[in-house]
Structure 1
Amino acid sequence: FFINKRMRFLDLVRPVVNYLPEVEAPLKKQSFNDKLMWTAWTLFIYLICCQIPLYGMVKQEGADPMYWLRVILASNKGTIMELGMSPIITSGMIMQLLVGAKFIDVNMQSKEDRELFQASQKLFGLLITFGEAVAYLLSGMYGPIGELGLIRALLIILQLFLAGFMVLMLDELLQKGYGLGSGISLFIATNICEMILWKSFSPTTIRTDQGTEFEGAIIALFHFLLTKPNKFYGLQQ
């Protein structure tokens, strides 16, 4: 006997949908103050994670190869938020491309298909998170594998995976109507604002060709104006 109905990609995901964690939609419409509160808590958790260092990594010297991408990916080097939004962005982009190229048959007018598509995107995001964590580790970003050892290597992968999973859930929390906007744009904007504030008021010092200077531009400006005999030259620097 032949089965006329063609097996779709979304049908392959159906058995695991019930095992994927999901944020329940709010029972009632959230007020602006409630959305503001949920958004603030989400940003607070994200900013805290951006300051938690990865346990087990070996300190690496030299330039950060991902420096210019970190603003876009809302990631922070050497912390559990190393992967940032890259799993969400990558999974969403690939799934949309597959739908646009008709490799995946999905009817966005159907509620069931939309739920299956979102579950597929979440599952794909988790797989990408695990894959990126392993790739970062094997690239030597956290130190030579032989020096790290099996236990520390597994702990680094676990930390990155759990942080990536948390980002997926926080993004879903905002998209379900609890917060303001989407997690992707919110985290990227927050990361940019944090970088601007840090580069403006950072009290740490760095060594340059002109000597030791403050990293923060505002602090460096007042320092030059107070210490340089030529105020115009200090202002120019």
Structure 2
Amino acid sequence: MTLSEINSWQTIKAEVMRRIVERVWLPGDQIPNEVDLAEEFGCARATVNRALREVAEAGLVERRRKAGTRVALNPTRKATLEIPITRLEVEQRGWRWRHVILEREETLPPAVVTTRLGLSDKIPMLHVRTLHYADNSPFLYEDRWVNISAIEAIRSVNFQSIDANEWLVQNAPFTRGDITFSAANATELEAELLEAKKGAAIFVIDRTTWNGDIPVTLVRLAYAPGYRVHTEL
């Protein structure tokens, strides 16, 4: 796509969104079809299609085949989440980061892991457990399983020089994932590692990433008491 074409669809997207926000087109209204909009804007229909796809992904319009495009009655508001690099997260808070590898081995995963990933329990996975520190205080306990068949190169990585989290963010492509945020009571192991009382309230993230239909990694992140997460809409 040429620069002029990119500018064209972005300009059309901005104008469509303006008309929606300023109520030129009201919630539930059917907007002009692609042919009419292409004629109005003096561009190719494909350019209009690209712009409307972007607006639909933003949740402001609903597109249905043969039924046209309507302004959404209840616009979707989406938050953008990124997989953070723990080292950077600690350093950006003004602390010194370090990590300790508690365990690294290729082993058969438990049923709870294979069930969630849809993998055979007869195929070894890489199990890595890491404790991250902020200055001299425990910050995060990371319990991770990696599908080696999806990313063979991880076998040769020296996790003393780079932790599994940062290496995977930089080297393991993924197309989708699921994330669960929860409050939990620290298990005996988590309490010991995080220097907290057993049963103390902690923040937990369970995350799975996939590349197409192939699972890449499953990780449980248990943060020390007092951790707060911030995101933007």
Report the TM-score range of the alignment, normalised by the length of the smaller protein.
under 0.3
**Relative contact order, CA 8 A, sep 6+: which one is greater?**
1
Higher strand share: 2
